[in-house]
Amino acid sequence: MKMNDKHNRRIYRLWAPVYDRALGAVFLPGRRRAIDVLALQPGEHALLVGVGTGADLPLLPPGIRATGLDLSSEMLDRARARLPLSGKDISLVQANAQSLPFEDQAFDAVLLSLILSVVPDPVACLREARRVLRPGGRMVVFDKFLPKGTQASPGRRLLNLITTRLGTDVTRCLEDIAEGAGCTLVQDEPSILRGSYRVALLR
């Protein structure tokens, strides 16, 4: 099954009430590390693409502005329930990550947590993130990808028939996505679940 926005809206409507209880603790170390690598400074404006239930929001440092964007209204309702957060100016927007409703070079930093494996077109998503990033800004990705230099095995492709129905693709290659979007990997490190997830800094 190929990912599509209609299915994603439906499946994340179902995920919204249980997502944090089911997966919050699993993803927390990767989320923390991704925000550390993003190295946000006071006064900067960050975009969180695929903000979901807003699990990243309490981890953001004080003194910054943040805009969180997601396709799912139900996930955004969960994120909205976390607000306000002291010392942080946070707004939430419902929109498609593959066609961001922002002007060029509008943000100092972009965080893409667990979104490139979800959107139908990850290259378009990353290209849009690059478009709205100011010159010299940073993008950090936290997500699951194929190991470097490998192709999806028959077993992984079979597993993907199940995971895509649950809202995520396990056969994507970060290097291919970055190249297609015109981005350069400047830092790449293994993260949770024995490195099946990675935290990467792109420019």
The CA distance from 48 to 102, in Å, is 13
Decide if 34 contacts 111 (C-beta within 8 A): yes
Map out the domains of the chain with their CATH numbers: 5-202 (3.40.50.150)
Q: What angle do CA 173, 127, 132 make, to 5 degrees?
A: 140
Axis-axis angle for helices 73-80, 5-15 (nearest 10)? 40
Q: What is the pLDDT of residue 64?
A: 97
Where does 16-121 have alpha helices with state H?
19-38, 73-80
SS3 90: strand
Tokens describing residue 79 = 């994120």
Checking phi first, is residue 63 left (phi over 0); if not, alpha (psi -120 to 50) or beta? left
| The residue to which tokens 């329930």 are assigned | 81
Which residues in 77-93 are b (16+ Cβ under 10 Å) and which e?
Answer: ebbeeeeeeeebebebe
pLDDT means per 10 residues, the chain with 203 residues, are: 92 97 97 98 98 98 98 98 97 98 98 98 98 97 93 94 95 97 97 96 96
User: Taking the CB of residue 174, how many other CB atoms lie within 10 A of it?
Assistant: 24
**H/E stretch holding 68:** strand 65-70
Q: What is the pLDDT of residue 149?
A: 86
* 103 CB-near residues (< 8 Å, 6+ apart): 132
C-alpha distances out from residue 48 to 28, 133, 169, Å: 16, 12, 20
